[in-house]
Structure 1
Amino acid sequence: MRKLKTADNTHYGVALTLSKKDDGGFLRLVASHLASSPTGMLKDKAYLIAVATTGAGDTSLLICGSDATKVQRAALLTMSKFIGHVTPQPQQDGGAVWLARVRGLGWSAYDETALWDVLHKCAQELVDPSRPPPGSRGIDETLAIARTRLQRLLPRQALAELRDTDIKVPVLLVDIRPAAARAAQGHIPGAMVIERNVLEWRFDPRSVEGRLDIATRYDLRVIVFCHEGYTSSLAAAALQDIGLLNATDIVGGIEAWKAEGLPVEMES
């Protein structure tokens, strides 16, 4: 087992081992030993441990701990992580031990990482669901932080950049609105339509599939717009995250563009 980690005073860890002749019996023996005579780092400590046998076909997974509630939370999360691959075995020990058969566990690098994530989440104490988790941010703060990274453009400034032949890098106007919004609000002539859900894949020079032919360089001037300039700010910041540091958006979106009397076409 790798070095144990700790969350809210609960020690947790994951161990993968080769399949035994009697996986279930072996894992129940492990759980019994941990519960009856914990030693070393687990002595008199709260713990949450996952031990899995690996091999072809069905393998066995044990989750056990000093707190049955955390074990059962971990069991539910495990079944969602490995959906369709888990067959729980009969419960014992008041819920403090959970044993299951898992198809193909250990054959993917995802598997061990997923188990560590399960235990990390379930080792933590439950918090008031009405309170924001530590380190989280509301959307207003998230938007404000995104905009501090952008040199946002007013509609006429964006149009001027699009027409400026002295700019040495490609300048692209990108409409990220969904089809229904474009039909209802009109579209800007010459704008590329790349909906928000695929934006990064289209512009990331590292992307293998779906990348635009022009997206082979990181200095592109990508000017994003949406309806009123909120989603576009988050989208432009996301483009900066993948290396397109010249990405920005239009203040007020297409509504501000129309208010300035700039060209807009309605779908017929």
Structure 2
Amino acid sequence: MSYKGDVVLVTGASKGIGAAIAIELAEKGLNVIINYNTSQEQADALNETIRKNQGKCEIKKFDVSNYEEVENAFAQIIEKYKTIDYLVNNAGIVSDNLIIKMKADEFDKVLKTNLYGTFNCSKIAAKYMIKQKFGVIINISSIIGLFGNAGQANYAASKAGIIGFTKSLAKELGSRNIRINAIAPGFIETDMTEDLNIIQKKFLTDKIALKRLGKSSDIAHLVSFLLSEEASYITGEVISINGGLSI
């Protein structure tokens, strides 16, 4: 695959899907900026892994839900690299609870990280991408944003919001040569699914056509394609990658 740009920021990239995306894009030759907020040890380990494999990367700590921190981080990126070509909005958290037990701050903190974080980074990235007349943004949504899930009203709302946000932004920025797409992963082998017991995992895999959970690398491969020039006529799409769970 070919890439028009060079610099990519991946939010929430210290572990899980974000780390897999960072590794994949570094292998493709892109200069990867690994964002993290709390997992410094894992971010450092990822940075070392990529560099050992001759990849180009650096780590940058900031909270995507804090607009001022995001603005400062982007200013630093532009000062150093003079461009921001690609943005992968991956940072996300969960705080599950039934609606009658869910506290306002449990709802609020998930929306602030998942949805507001996507808004903050996209808004600031768009400013620079418009000036350079090029850019690609990938937003990581979820199958939960498409179909909902009991006990995850806050998470579902945030991920559904990302889908509407993606489609609106694609219409708004398409004429500026900026593409925006969303990916809706199904159940992927990450920290979020590690806590499931054998019975719970079997219940899930029985519903999946491919009879297995997905891998973080499955999402990373799709991200690398959507950023590439081979996907230059794809924008405003929400691509599900769930092993056939939704059919």
Please state which band the TM-score falls in when normalised by the shorter chain. Answer: under 0.3
Larger Cα-atom Rg: 1
TM-score where L is the length of structure 2: 0.28
More strand by share: 1
More helix by share: 2
**Structure with larger RCO (C-alpha < 8 A, sep 6+):** 2
